[in-house]
A and B are shown apart, each in its own frame.
Chain A
Amino acid sequence: MHELSICQGLLRQLLPIAAKHPGRLIQVVLRIGPLSGVEAALLQAAFPIAAKGSVAAEAELVIEHCPLRVRCPLCDAESEASANDLRCGDCGNQQTRLTSGDELLLLSVQFSEESNHV
């Protein structure tokens, strides 16, 4: 379970961004793929614990999931795959390339209109 340490890293990434914006941080949006090595549910659970007392204490964590997709170099098809079966959905070739599914990204953040600094 390393989701807590990932949250702590996330908060360090948020610091300089929050410092540049006057509003309150109200939302943090991540994109996480099924082959990223991170469990979205665990991250969701760890976030409020890690965020307590930080710039993101009141922020909602939104996790955008992305599909697992592979491209086949043989038949050039792109198909949906599952984490333990990345074969080409068209021809069954095993040597495919992941086109989506290992993302682990901080996409965007949202600040409120009202200012912190009154």
Chain B
Amino acid sequence: MCDSCGCNITPGNQHLPQRGEAVAVLQGLLAENDHQALHNREHFDRHGVLAINLMSSPGAGKTALLEATIARLKDRYRIAVIEGDLETENDAERIRAQGVPAIQITTGSACHLDAHMLHHALHKLDLENIDLLFIENVGNLVCPAAFDLGQRANVTLLSTTEGDDKPAKYPLIFRAADLVLLSKIDLLAVLDDFDPAKAEQHLRNLASSAPMLSLSARSGEGMEAWFEWLAQQKCSHQAVNRRSKL
């Protein structure tokens, strides 16, 4: 190989400079978002707010899960919800009907929430009087996983009507989950092609050890285990916060 005829240019180095000035940068492409997410996380920790990011395809039952969760836990925790949606205020109104504050972020054409949108919404909430903040991300199995919001945990819902191979088709969002919820299990009886064991197998193949719980916001089945998971998260968040303040 020589330096004159171009035979030393391989697919791996073809972009290397021939002349002019090359400048190494090595920065994350989401550095802006990650920086803001860090700042959001500090907000949450300072005020003792446990922030949970809910992700799923549209219609998997995020809002229904929140309604049932608030109805059950609002006497135990001070809850608030940030709703991300392309257009309407509908979801926020459903949450307010449960008697807790809800901020709607309408993202327009953006298919996910980012840390800046969330930060903007945070300033409309009285964080000092919130124990548990749910963030309902835009219904989308692709984009939300790429953007850290500053949450403490990710919960990804997979409803029984979607097919048990979704974790294999959308690995990123299921890999990002700290908890996977199989929702609408009241429908399992009529959906003979959804196999929860297969869904779990697909999840494990993503090298995820996140727990997977089955529940139905409609029938109430399986909801206790979800409430227990939340209580554990709340507990461990408080412990971490206390230690960091020592």
- Pairwise interchain contact B207-A70, C-beta atoms closer than 8 A: yes
Contact at B19–A113, with CB atoms within 8 Å?
A: yes
A87 within 8 A of B: yes
B15, A12: Cβ atoms under 8 Å? no
- In angstroms, Cα B138 to Cα A2, docked, is 13
A55 close to chain B: CB less than 8 A = no
> CB-nearest residue of chain B relative to A84?
B168
A60-B205 Cα distance, complex, nearest whole Å: 37
A106 with B146: in contact, given A29-B15, A64-B15 (CB under 8 Å)? no
Chain B residues touching A, range = 35 or more
* Total number of residue pairs linking A and B with CB closer than 8 Å: 111
> Contact at A6–B29, with CB atoms within 8 Å?
yes
Task: Report Cα–Cα, A29/B172, bound state, in Å.
Answer: 24
> A45 on the interface (CB 8 Å rule)?
no
Once the chains are docked, how many angstroms separate the CA of A38 from the CA of B147? Answer: 11
How far is B19's CA from A70's CA once the two chains are assembled, in angstroms?
37
Among candidates B21, B26, B29, B172, residue contacting A110 with C-beta atoms closer than 8 Å: B21
A84/B27 contact (C-beta < 8 A), A37-B145, A37-B172 known? no
How many A residues touch the partner, as a band?
35 or more
Residues of A within 8 A of B125 (CB): none
Whether A84 contacts B20 by the Cβ 8 Å rule is no
Supposing A95-B207, A104-B29, A107-B26 touch, asked if A2 and B21 sit within 8 A by C-beta, the answer is no
User: Does B184 make an interface contact (CB < 8 A)?
Assistant: no
B114: A residues at CB distance < 8 A = 5
Please, which residues of chain A bring their CB within 8 A of the CB of B111? 1-2
> In the complex, what's the smallest C-beta–C-beta distance from B202 to chain A, in angstroms?
7
Contact of B146 among A2, A23, A29, A86 (CB under 8 A): A2
Counting CB contacts under 8 A, is B120 at the interface? no
B129 / chain A contacts, CB cutoff of 8 Å:
none
Chain A interfacial positions (CB closer than 8 Å to B) = 1-2, 5-6, 9-10, 12-13, 17, 21, 23, 26-27, 29-30, 35-38, 62, 64, 70, 83-87, 94-98, 104-113
Interface pairs (21), CB distance under 8 Å: A2-B146, A5-B110, A9-B32, A10-B29, A13-B27, A35-B175, A36-B146, A37-B145, A38-B29, A84-B167, A85-B168, A94-B207, A104-B29, A105-B26, A106-B29, A108-B23, A110-B15, A110-B20, A110-B21, A111-B21, A112-B20
